[in-house]
Structure 1
Amino acid sequence: MAAVPPLCDFGWRAVDASLIGTGGQRHSLLAQAGRHGLVVAFICNHCPYVKAVIGRIVRDAHDLAALDVGFVAINANDAAAYPADSYENMQRFSRENAFPFPYLHDADQAVARAYGAVCTPDFFGFNARGELQYRGRLDGSRKQEAIADLRRDLFEAMRQIAQSGTGPREQIASVGCSIKWRDSP
């Protein structure tokens, strides 16, 4: 079932955490920030919305790196109930899609709860001061194939944030599969 996160709570401060990545090492979220900002993306391996846009997520992460904006992805889904989202499958998904960013496992779902993540994909764009300036969609394709000249909402917002420190006031929420929460926190 599709879920829609709330729009941007401008100025909300990024929460740091240390999570295990698909390469077997722990990563601090805030250490992934570039000089001009950071994108924290909640994704997973099995969601049709994520699968449809993963190539564009990877493209945008590459392009944002050139603007000195960091990128990190987190999978918080309950792997016991959704084995496709297991750590081992995260490793395979990351490798198959040549992720240029850390893909982290939020096994206890504490980070997803701290961020108020709702769906996959769910994007949080922070400025250089760690203040939330974007919480919107990647682009308008949802889970369809993208047309050639489709506006890159996340990339354009983060370019604006890199240049000015502030995000666009008009933002369109992401849509995706709901986070698969464990029965008890």
Structure 2
Amino acid sequence: MAATPPVCEFGWPAVDAILPGTDGNQHQISDLCGPGGLVVAFICNHCPYVKAVISRIVRDANDLQEHGVGFVAISANDAVAYPEDSFDNMKLFAERHRFPFPYLYDEDQRIARAYGAACTPDFYGFNADLKLQYRGRLDASRREEGPADLRRDLYEAMLQVSRSGEGPKDQIASIGCSIKWKDAA
């Protein structure tokens, strides 16, 4: 079932954490911020919405890096219920798609909950002070990759953030598969 996150809460501070990456290293989220800001993306391996745009996510992460914007992806899905989202499969997914950014595992889901992540993909764009300036879609693609000439919403927003420290006032929410939460114990 498709889920849609709420609109951007401008100025909300990024939640920091240290999580294991598919590269074998531990990564602190705040350390990944560049001089132009940081994108925190909640994704997973099995979601058709993510699969449809993963090459565009990689493209935009590479292009934003040239503007001083850091990028990190986090998977928080319940890997017991969704084995395709296991840490070992995350490693394969990152390698296959040549991720130029850390892909982190939020096994206990505390970071996804702290962010209020709603779906995959779910994008958070922070300025250099790690204050939220964008919570919207990558582009207008859905379960299928859209045309090549789609407006690059995330990229354009983060260019604005990198230049001014502020995101666009009008933002369109992402849509995707709901986060696969573990049963509450």
> Do the structures match in fold with TM over 0.5?
yes
What secondary structure, in the 3-state scheme, does the structure 1 residue paired with 2:166 have? coil
What secondary structure, in the 3-state scheme, does the structure 2 residue paired with 1:133 have? strand
Give the deviation of 1:23 after TM superposition: 1.3
The aligned counterpart of 2:78 is 78
Asked if 1:43 is matched to 2:43, the reply is yes
Give the deviation of 1:132 after TM superposition: 0.2
Distance 1:76 1:169 in 2: 28
The aligned counterpart of 2:54 is 54
2:115 partner amino acid: Y
The aligned counterpart of 2:159 is 159
The aligned counterpart of 1:118 is 118
Distance 1:120 1:107 in 2: 15
The aligned counterpart of 1:22 is 22
The aligned counterpart of 2:174 is 174
2:110 partner amino acid: A
21-30 or 37-46, larger mean C-alpha shift? 21-30
Instruction: Please give the per-residue CA displacement for 1:32-61, whole angstroms capped at 9, x wherever unaligned.
Output: 110110000000000000000000000000
2:81 partner amino acid: A
The aligned counterpart of 2:148 is 148
4+ residue segments displaced more than 4 Å: none
Give the deviation of 1:147 after TM superposition: 1.2
The aligned counterpart of 2:33 is 33
Give the deviation of 1:146 after TM superposition: 2.2
Give the deviation of 1:72 after TM superposition: 0.1
Distance 1:118 1:107 in 2: 16
- Matched positions, count: 185
The aligned counterpart of 1:139 is 139
Give the deviation of 1:122 after TM superposition: 0.2
Distance 1:78 1:49 in 2: 17
> Sequence identity, in percent?
67
Instruction: Please give the per-residue CA displacement for 1:84-140, whole angstroms capped at 9, x wherever unaligned.
Output: 000000000000000000000000000000100000000000001110000000000
2:41 partner amino acid: A
Distance 1:184 1:129 in 2: 34
1:118 partner amino acid: A
Give the deviation of 1:25 after TM superposition: 1.1
144-153 or 77-86, larger mean C-alpha shift? 144-153
The aligned counterpart of 1:99 is 99
The aligned counterpart of 1:184 is 184
Q: Which runs of 5+ in 1 are unaligned?
A: none
2:40 partner amino acid: V
Q: CA RMSD in A?
A: 0.7
Q: Which runs of 5+ in 2 are unaligned?
A: none
TM-score (norm 2): 0.99
Distance 2:168 2:63 in 1: 19
1:25 partner amino acid: N
Distance 1:141 1:176 in 2: 10
